[in-house]
Chains A and B, each alone.
Chain A
Amino acid sequence: MMLMEAMAQGLIVGIITVGKLAMIILPLMVGIEFAKEFGWLEILSRRSVWFTRAFHLPPSAALPAFAGLFIGIVSGSGIILQIAKEERYARSTLTILFVMVGICHSLLEETILFVGLEVNLFLVAGSRLIAALVFSYIFSRIVTPAYSPEEQATDSLRI
């Protein structure tokens, strides 16, 4: 009997929480759709040569990096896998990219989850982004860069 009560109580808490989250998630997902359609991600990638250069990444890695960071590993995997295959990235490049994206991804979607809950969102999302950038920066210095900054300089002229 106690088991049934506990299950019922759990279900009620769960349904209320899902409802609260739906109120927040639905409008935000519509917003993200608009942002994608207006091509903000492409604009962002084009202006981020300084960013990819700092992490010893080729310029073409900006789009998968930002797609991963903001859209997500699983939902952004289409973009990530496609570009990784097309550009034939070296393993060291992939490692740098995934140290960044693995730690911090779906920054919008997954932070939204915590909006209705009693947490410090700034700390949750901020520490994650900072850790991702610091770890991948350290990694980009450790692994032998398949992509040297000199090569990158010539590549950025092609854009």
Chain B
Amino acid sequence: MDERQRQARLAIPAADLFKTGLSNGIVVVLRLAKTILPAIVFVSLLQVTTLLNIIDHLCAPLMQQVGLPGEAAVAFIVGIFSSIYGGVGAMLLLPLSYKELTILSTMIVFCHAGFMESAVVVEAGASGLLIFSLRLFGAFLSAWLIHVCWI
């Protein structure tokens, strides 16, 4: 960019930038609260009603491959169906170690908000199914790698 453009950019008041950033931040935090809170309450209800135990047993064989307890599948699934915030919220109540939290976070970060983000991919004109299955595959692959290589 040439010097004139640079001057023009700097001419935007810093206070305005500050305000925009702050309001963007508040939007993110609200969005966060809106999905994290129900997700946490949902998981705590699962815990009380022993439904979590059932999910634990069902998902244990698969999740054990990547070094996670079966109940960790709840956070991953919530993350896929709602958003990354929901996944993080659901993860918070599970009794996980540092290593397990890192693995589960990696999986959630790879593959979340399946419907919303696939919609953008399809809208742009690429295959939503292909991209999503790659994300799912990547989630398990990198989780497995972290699990195996953890020192």
Contacts and interface: CB of A to CB of B under 8 A. Distances in A.
- Chains A and B come from one and the same complex: yes
Interface of A: 2-3, 6-7, 9-11, 13-15, 17-18, 21-22, 25-34, 37-39, 42-43, 73-74, 77, 80-81, 84, 89, 91, 94-95, 97-99, 102-103, 105, 109-111, 113-114, 117-120, 123-125, 127-128, 131-132, 135
Interface string B34-56: 00110011011101110000000
A9 to B, nearest CB: 6
Contact of B17 (A37, A81, A118, A123): A37
Contacts of A95: 126-127, 130-131
A124 B101 CA distance: 10
B116 A98 contact: no
B40 A25 contact: no
B36 A17 contact: yes
Contact of A33 (B24, B88, B123): B24
Q: Report the interface size class on chain B.
A: 35 or more
Contact of A14 (B10, B17, B40, B135): B40
Contacts of A42: 1
Interface in B88-130: 88-89, 91-93, 98, 101-102, 105-106, 109-110, 113, 116-117, 120-121, 123-127, 130
